Amino acid sequence: MYKIAFLPGDGIGIEVGNSAMKVAKVVAEHFNVELIINEKLIGGCSYDEFGSPLTDETLQACYDADAVFLGAVGGIKWESLPHNLKPEAALLKLRKALGLYANIRPAKIYQPLIDSSTLRKEVLQDVDFIVLRELTGGIYFGEPRAYDDDKGFNTMIYKKNEVERIAKIAFTLARERNRKVVSVDKANVLEVSQFWRNIVIQVHQEFQDIELTHMYVDNAAMQIVRNPKQFDVILTSNLFGDILSDIAGMITGSLGMLPSASLGSKYALYEPVHGSAPDIAGKNLANPLASISSIAMMFNYSFQMKKASELIEAAINKTLSQGYRTKDIFNEGDKLVSTTEMTEIVIKNFLEVFHEQGLGVFTL
Ligand SMILES: NC(=O)c1ccc[n+]([C@@H]2O[C@H](COP(=O)([O-])OP(=O)(O)OC[C@H]3O[C@@H](n4cnc5c(N)ncnc54)[C@H](O)[C@@H]3O)[C@@H](O)[C@H]2O)c1
Ligand SMILES: CC(C)[C@H](C(=O)O)[C@@H](O)C(=O)O
Ligand SMILES: [Mg+2]
């Protein structure tokens, strides 16, 4: 039995969150696992209901769960609230409270989408890398921070143990992959980045089988678009990782394709990389695949159900190879479908790949 804290949030978070839960239920049922889904408010909708974007009740539901799924938070309606009441503050507080310092954002090209990107096919073929973003430190959390009529400031700060633990994760992940880590920083300008680089080099002493290189963040942004195949694991700080992972999103054709896992020593949260997309919210247009793929990561990392995770990914691939596309990845000749239709087709394909593999009575 596994407990999921389900926080759909705002905008398309609700639509793609529902898709994710539908898939999770079907997958669990077929693997003979009981899922208990505990739905709670977070973000703007929580502010509207309780005057706070993150309540103790929601936080407690996350502490009590085996895994958290979050849709997205934010929207125009809440943009002028004070910083601590903004929907986004809830997400940051949640990440910090759960100690989710390691954010894994895989950028992998789904073969059927190779012609849908704004980038050329030859550039994209075989691209498969991870942006490993430090998630509970850096400028997102540094003090002091404030603004008034004359000035605004934030503090980019990293402590030794924060860099050490994320660097260890990077090298460990690389060991299971192609054994290459590029640490991305701005050491030519920022002291905090020089410190980051020094610590990464120190940690690397214990991982001599892994190739370590360093790259400035401006160059890295360019290299991801120029030649993404060169990357295996990109290790970077909170702010740089936020920006680089959206760039990496375009490799997959759309932000709506990019999943993520945020892990700490005790808790785990899964969410699509994209936001609440106010421009398409409530129209059944959103691409649910980033969320469904985040569910695949949940089954893999939190429930240790690798087979289930692989079959979800196989179902996504099959759906795409059949030509089904939401609007964000649609090209002439494709079959245009809504969020809910895409979800139903992925579920149908999951059932097919499940039975094709002769897993009719799969028990863990
Ligand atoms: N994790 C989160 O909750 C999260 C992440 C990013 C942004 N946000 C918030 O979301 C709000 C909107 O931010 P934004 O517009 O900069 O970023 P966004 O990711 O919401 O949208 C950027 C663009 O991508 C499109 N898009 C995003 N996800 C899509 C999907 N699944 N299917 C199809 N198209 C998709 C949108 O329509 C939009 O054109 C803001 O309030 C922001 O703070 C939240
Ligand atoms: C909504 C915002 C707080 C968040 C971030 O900046 O971390 C988002 O952009 C993301 O990438 O998860
Ligand atoms: Mg972001």
Segment 349-353 mean pLDDT: 96
Token readout for 176 is 């299971």
- What residue spans define the domains of the chain? 1-100+268-364, 117-252
Q: Do domains 1-100+268-364 and 117-252 have the same CATH topology?
A: yes
Measure 57 CA to ligand 2 centroid, in angstroms: 22
CA of 273 to the centre of ligand 1 (A): 8
Angle of CA points 331, 334, 336, to nearest 5°: 95
The DSSP secondary-structure symbol of 208 reads: T
Asked if residue 62 lies in contact with residue 68, where contact means CB atoms within 8 angstroms, the answer is: yes
Catalytic residue selected from 10, 186, 232, 328: 186
- Name the CATH code of domain 117-252 (choices 3.90.1150.10, 3.40.718.10, 3.50.50.60, 3.10.450.50): 3.40.718.10
What's the CA-to-centroid distance between 277 and ligand 2, angstroms?
13
pLDDT band, very low/low/confident/very high, at 252 (cuts 50, 70, 90): confident
Q: Select which of 2, 47, 101, 140 is catalytic.
A: 140
pLDDT tens track for 1-55:
999 999 999 999 999 999 999 999 999 999 999 999 999 999 999 999 999 999 9
Q: Is 334 known to be catalytic?
A: no
- Give pLDDT, residue 12: 98
Q: What is the pLDDT of residue 362?
A: 55
Nearest to 38 by CA among 72, 1, 11: 1
Q: Is the pTM of this model over 0.90?
A: yes
pLDDT of residue 250: 81
Q: Which atom of ligand 2 is nearest to the CA of 135?
A: 7
Q: ipTM score of the complex?
A: 0.97
Tell me: the pLDDT tens digits for 93-142? Answer: 999 999 999 999 999 889 899 887 888 999 999 999 999 999 999 999 99
Q: What topology is assigned to 1-100+268-364 in CATH?
A: Isopropylmalate Dehydrogenase (3.40.718)
What is the length of the chain?
Answer: 364
- Please report the pLDDT score of residue 328 as a whole number: 93
What are the tens digits of pLDDT across the range 279-319? 999 999 999 999 999 999 999 999 999 999 999 999 999 99
pLDDT at 364 over 60: no
Give residue-wise pLDDT tens across range 161-211. 999 999 999 999 999 999 999 999 999 999 999 999 999 999 999 999 999
Rounded mean pLDDT of the chain? 95
Considering only CA atoms, which of 267, 311, 272, 239 is closest in space to residue 3?
Answer: 267
Task: State mean pLDDT over 322-341.
Answer: 95
Average pLDDT over residues 320-326: 97
Q: What is the pLDDT of residue 254?
A: 86
The ligand that comes nearest to the alpha carbon of residue 74 is 1
Respond yes or no on whether the N-terminal peptide bond of residue 144 is cis (omega within 30° of 0).
yes
Residue 357: the pLDDT is: 82
d(CA 290, CA 12): 12
